[in-house]
Amino acid sequence: MKLATYQYDSAARIGAVQGDCIIDLAAASDRRLPSDMRSFLDLGAPALQIAQDIVAGSGDGLALADVRLLPPICNPSKVIAIGLNYMDHCREQGHEPPKTPMIFTKFTTAIIGPDDTISWNPSLTQEVDYEVELAVVMGCRARNVSAADALDFVAGYTVCNDVSARDLQFSDGQWVRGKSLDTFCPLGPWIVTRDEVPDPQTLPIRCTLNGQLVQDSTTAEMIFSVATLIEFSSRAFTLLPGDVIITGTPHGVGVFREPKLFLRDGDIVTVEVEGIGRLTNRCREECV
């Protein structure tokens, strides 16, 4: 099942995407289901079952083309990000693979959705880069979960562009400011539930910039698997339903190219994980 957050008639709702249509889950369930994704995920497996029954029993819905997709979740308690988690990305920068996952965060105020604009102030940063990533959305509260059980705690998967201001990231020494500028966390287009993704470590992953392929890899290149990242994180802190873990980017980012390649005003950047979806955003330098 594909779960989306969308806007229609100025109200935000959650829906199940079926082909070219989207079904309003709150309306179709006689309001037994809420209209925002975090509340829906908080209800756990019973809510997912209601949604699945609705999808199985109904062909009715709005045309997907007539609604505006919003970020599938806009208010997670946290976005956990992982640095240096692809072998090919370590090789391109001559970096030894890390011995343990390297965790940082992106503030949730950076989240935007499909077709929203990535924007920045050029007097603040001149080195804005793209990073395609598989994003994991948690479905259950998780604390001290083993890798063997970890995927049972996942609601599903979406796609993230971990947009990064490299000049701020590297001059600060730690990464949170350069990774958390407003609009620097495009997320979407929807959450594919985990029953449709039996193995998250076999997915082709790519990024195109103005139609040109700039990142092209597979999640098999991950150093620490999704399950290991959940085990590692949940030993340190509680993961809540709706929390997002973005799992690192493969090789091909702009900062390690020769010559370097950074995002510019008017650029169109698309990130895609096969089997999950494709997310496109336009770039804009703010007028100052």
Residues near Zn ion (CB under 5 A): 131, 162, 249
Q: To the nearest whole angstrom, how small is the minimum distance from the Cβ of residue 61 to Zn ion? A: 34
Integer Cα distance of 277 and 196 in angstroms:
13
Is 13 in contact with 26 (CB distance < 8 Å)?
A: yes
Integer Cα distance of 37 and 76 in angstroms:
9
3-state secondary structure of 1: coil
How buried is 50 (Cβ within 10 angstroms: 0-12 exposed, 13-18 middle, 19+ buried)?
middle
Integer Cα distance of 158 and 277 in angstroms:
7
33 vs 81, which CB is nearer to Zn ion?
Answer: 81
**CB atoms near residue 285 (< 10 Å):** 18
Q: To the nearest whole angstrom, how small is the minimum distance from the Cβ of residue 81 to Zn ion? A: 6
**CB atoms near residue 274 (< 10 Å):** 13
Beta strands 164-165 and 244-246 are unpaired
133 vs 231, which CB is nearer to Zn ion?
Answer: 133
Q: To the nearest whole angstrom, how small is the minimum distance from the Cβ of residue 12 to Zn ion? A: 27
Q: To the nearest whole angstrom, how small is the minimum distance from the Cβ of residue 52 to Zn ion? A: 32
Q: To the nearest whole angstrom, how small is the minimum distance from the Cβ of residue 39 to Zn ion? A: 28
24 vs 162, which CB is nearer to Zn ion?
Answer: 162
- What is the 8-class DSSP label of residue 86? B
Q: CA torsion sign, 274 to 276 to 277 to 282?
A: negative
41 vs 203, which CB is nearer to Zn ion?
Answer: 203
Q: To the nearest whole angstrom, how small is the minimum distance from the Cβ of residue 160 to Zn ion? A: 8
183 vs 249, which CB is nearer to Zn ion?
Answer: 249
69 vs 253, which CB is nearer to Zn ion?
Answer: 253
131 vs 231, which CB is nearer to Zn ion?
Answer: 131
What is the DSSP track for 214-277? Answer: EEEEEGGGBSS-HHHHHHHHHHHS-B-TT-EEE----S--GGGSSS-----TT-EEEEEETTTE
Chain residue at closest Cβ approach to Zn ion: 162
Q: To the nearest whole angstrom, how small is the minimum distance from the Cβ of residue 133 to Zn ion? A: 5
Integer Cα distance of 278 and 160 in angstroms:
9
